[in-house]
């Protein structure tokens, strides 16, 4: 499969290594200094583009890739206010757009466990729930997209929680998400249920970017030849 990389930082280079090891060809590498390559024949030849950049440029990157007729796999977060527009453009151009807040298999297993635990805890109102996420200092958005996805899983299953808020819960029906930025932490997410007598805690701790990169390449393999808006539930089918 021919792949294009949009964003050629640490994550892009990790994806490149895994893609090549799986027999794929990287036909284009786009970063901040060669944006004109979106119009190149090399980029247009890609079967799928994998995009990991930043919230303020992601939407524009999607539009450029769609204009070139290339389907997209993206792990950039912090732009979801435009998600309905992307779905509409994807449909109109008959291309595929695969988005996930986190491509790690472990995180997606963790998300399933998180939802199941919330469903159980719905019966026990004496437990208060909170979340903490820790990432490297270069991560610009807070809370993380993964934290938001986990919060949505809790909100869906836990009747007493109707919203999430950053740092402080202003009402009883709110889930507080504490966001910490330090060092080179790839990503730690912890859900904590606490009562007067005990606490229950589940944590996912990423050891490196390799899990995210492999998941992105697997998503690209899955996306190839498809149309529409896709996600990790389509790939993993939990």
Residues labelled catalytic: 135, 139
This prediction's pTM: 0.78
CATH 3.40.630.30 describes domain 2-103+210-236: no
Distances (CA, A) of 160 to 8, 164, 173: 43, 12, 6
Query: pLDDT (tens digit, 9 = 90+) per residue, 122-154?
Result: 999 999 999 999 999 988 889 998 999 999 999
| CATH class of the region 105-205 | alpha beta
Query: pLDDT (tens digit, 9 = 90+) per residue, 78-87?
Result: 898 999 999 9
Structure tokens at 110: 């963790």
Q: Smallest Cα–Cα separation from 208: which of 1, 7, 3, 18?
A: 18
What value, to the nearest 5°, has the Cα angle with vertex 238 and ends 150 and 73?
Answer: 70
Q: Where in the chain is the domain with CATH 3.30.360.10?
A: 105-205
8 A C-beta contact, residue 43 and residue 87: no
Structure tokens at 175: 């889930």
Tell me the average pLDDT of the chain: 95
């Amino acid at each position: 499969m021919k792949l294009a990389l949009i964003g050629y930082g640490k994550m892009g280079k990790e994806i490149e290594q895994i893609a090549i090891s799986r027999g794929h060809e990287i036909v284009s590498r786009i970063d901040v200094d060669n944006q004109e390559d979106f119009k190149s024949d090399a980029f247009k030849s890609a079967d799928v583009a994998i995009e990991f950049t930043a919230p303020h440029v992601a939407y524009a990157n999607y539009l450029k890739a769609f204009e070139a007729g290339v389907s997209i796999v993206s792990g950039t977060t912090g732009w979801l206010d435009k998600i309905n527009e992307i779905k509409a453009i994807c449909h109109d151009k008959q291309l595929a757009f695969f988005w996930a807040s986190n491509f790690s298999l472990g995180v997606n297993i963790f998300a399933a466990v998180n939802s199941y635990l919330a469903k159980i805890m719905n019966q026990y109102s004496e437990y208060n729930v909170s979340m903490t996420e820790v990432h490297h200092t270069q991560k610009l958005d807070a809370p993380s997209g993964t934290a938001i996805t986990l919060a949505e899983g809790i909100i869906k299953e836990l009747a007493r929680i109707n919203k999430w808020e950053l740092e402080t819960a202003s009402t009883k029906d709110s889930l507080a998400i504490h966001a910490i930025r330090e060092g080179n932490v790839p990503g730690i997410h912890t859900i904590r249920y606490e009562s007067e007598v005990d606490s229950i805690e589940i944590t996912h701790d990423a050891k490196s970017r390799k899990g995210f990169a492999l998941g992105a390449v697997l998503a690209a393999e899955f996306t190839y030849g498809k149309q529409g808006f896709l996600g990790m539930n389509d790939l993993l089918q939990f």
